[in-house]
Amino acid sequence: DGGITQSPKYLFRKEGQNVTLSCEQNLNHDAMYWYRQDPGQGLRLIYYSQIVNDFQKGDIAEGYSVSREKKESFPLTVTSAQKNPTAFYLCASSIPGPSPNGYTFGSGTRLTVV
């Protein structure tokens, strides 16, 4: 079955450490996205990529970095520069542009920084 996989599901890190969240999809989607969700809040866009080797900053890109070396993979690094990294991180993929099938989301990674 096609889908989008995020790992790990839960992640604990010490303050000041960089951490990389994995996102892999086998839906053959060109576009991939990273969103952050805080408790009781909506989704805020961190980075997105419409095509391999290209990505764009979203609304809250500061303190994060991404790469898109393969179509299937869009890892997110939460750097020590991110002031408040504890959150629920969601990866999504879609065909480019407004898709009638919407975005497909992974099951998310809950990051806790202590």
- Binding footprint of another protein on the chain (CB under 8 A): 31, 33, 35, 40-45, 48, 50, 56, 58-59, 90, 96-108
* Segments in the chain forming alpha helices (H): none
Please, which residue, 67 or 105, has the CB nearer to another protein? 105
Please, which residue, 16 or 100, has the CB nearer to another protein? 100
Please, which residue, 16 or 98, has the CB nearer to another protein? 98
CA-based nearest residue to 75, from 106, 29, 34: 34
Quote the CA–CA distance of 111 and 87 in Å, as a whole number.
6
Q: Smallest distance from the beta carbon of 79 to another protein, in angstroms?
A: 22
Q: Which residues of 81-107 are buried (b: 16+ CB within 10 A; e: fewer)?
A: ebeebbbebbbbbbeeeeeeeebbbbe
Please, which residue, 6 or 82, has the CB nearer to another protein? 6
CB 74 within 8 A of CB 29: no
Quote the CA–CA distance of 100 and 56 in Å, as a whole number.
23
Q: Smallest distance from the beta carbon of 58 to another protein, in angstroms?
A: 7
Q: Smallest distance from the beta carbon of 93 to another protein, in angstroms?
A: 12
Q: Smallest distance from the beta carbon of 16 to another protein, in angstroms?
A: 29
